[in-house]
Amino acid sequence: MIKQFLLSFLILPSCIAIGQELKVATNFESGSARVLSLDQQTQTIRITPAGDPKRGIPNWWYVRIDGINTTIPLVLEVEVREDLIPDELTGQGKKTSPGWTWPAQAALSLDGKTWKQTAEGQKINNRMVYQVQPATGTLWLAWGPPFTPTDALNFVNRISQTYSFAKAFILGRSLEGRQVPALQIAEGSKPADQRPAIWISARHHAWECGGSWVGTGLAEWLVSDNQQARWLRQHAEIFVVPLLDVDHVATGDGGKHGEPQDHNLDWSDQPHWPEVAAAQKRILALANEGRMNIFLDLHNPAPGNKQQTAYVIEKAYMPEKADPRKLRFVDLMIEEFGGLKQNPARPPAENPALFHRVSVPWVLEHSNSNTIAFCIETPWNTPSGTPEGYGIVGQKLGSAVEKLLREEAEKQP
């Protein structure tokens, strides 16, 4: 009897390990994957993004994995989708380059809230392979650190409840009925009509999660005890929209190149997306007050771009008094980042009308004579593509904004 009991005790741990059932879940906000195969013994899971190509480039993936045996590595293999996506310049379909689906390092979380990066993946045949030594029986893996509509709502509520000079508001509701949370920050008794307005917008493209983290990093800096941040919120009024394309983020779709056009190409007199129309309405009101000063649209670039980047609108397409301010802000960004990749922006020869449907040109065409606007792209395919790394970018952008406005204020009689 004793011998049988001891034998049972000795074999029990291996029975538990073998008996676990490895499962993949995506039934949560921003979750996206189609499981192609799952090997219980080797803990190898092969997936591909599950996004609908009509709702944008299908490169985003995000899974929770349960039932993990912590005594052996977990292997996640990611295959690329072969769907054609529209090319707005030519009107033809094109395939997505594999690099858009394969970050060098994936995002990893043990609680679905705090994110770090995996070791670098390995390209093997037609897939990228990430190997993780699991510390728990459940973990989350994603293309990048997710930032969901719920995260956006929680963020603006937390900031507004903590700081009396910050106000949370709902910019509008999306086509599918979701709220678009935003922040308004202004401290002190200076009248609103004497404050230049700064508009910070992130996630015109759903998959570009880094934009949200840059925007929230800027907002966190703005409400901090930093002297520059204090000066800025006391002299300006700042609006932060941490996530514009709430629908495609919520459903785990890519957003970019979505039908009938993505949010960044929807800035016309009759936008398809209600959240774009809501942003336009606010910006036009600020312009009518003569206060629309700086617009920053926060994005992530192509996978091979490792530099902080700004699209710089050519002088011919800038408002009358804006070009010197634009050039000075570029210099200030160079100071902050130690360099800056500058992409000249002008109407493309293939489809010039497309230029005027992009967020930044639209803002410049509908604002004040001194308004400046930039599309800012922060690299994601680097070791700094983390919430902390993105947050530092937000702080530096905030510093550049403050320096420009303070310089201009000090020159006034």
pLDDT in tens, 75-121: 999 999 988 887 777 777 888 899 999 999 999 999 999 999 999 99
pTM above 0.75, yes or no: yes
- Residue 34 β-bridge partners: 48
Q: How far apart are CA 141 and CA 110, in angstroms?
A: 9
Burial class of 177 by CB neighbour count within 10 A (0 to 12, 13 to 18, 19+)? exposed
Supply the pLDDT for residue 251.
Answer: 98
What domains sit in the chain, N to C, each tagged with a CATH number? 18-142 (2.60.40.3120), 149-411 (3.40.630.10)
pLDDT at 94: 80
**Helix (H/G/I), strand (E/B), else coil: 74:** strand
Q: Give the model confidence (pLDDT) of 2-52 as tens digits.
A: 444 333 333 333 223 344 799 999 999 999 999 999 999 999 999 999 999
Enter the tokens of residue 405: 């406005």
Cα dihedral: 216, 174, 94, 342 (round 10): -30
From the list 291, 305, 259, 260, the residue with the least C-alpha distance to 104 is 305
Give the Cα separation of 117 and 94 in Å (integer). Answer: 30
Token pair 């210099």 in the structure block, residue: 331
Smallest Cα–Cα separation from 100: which of 237, 260, 256?
Answer: 256
- Tell which residue, 152, 177, 149, 150, has the closest CA to residue 246: 149
pLDDT at position 89 is: 73
Mean pLDDT by 10 residues, the chain (413 residues): 37 38 97 98 98 96 98 97 81 85 98 97 96 97 98 98 98 98 98 97 98 98 98 98 98 96 97 98 98 98 97 96 97 98 94 95 98 98 98 98 98 86
- Provide the percentage of residues in the chain whose pLDDT is more than 90: 90
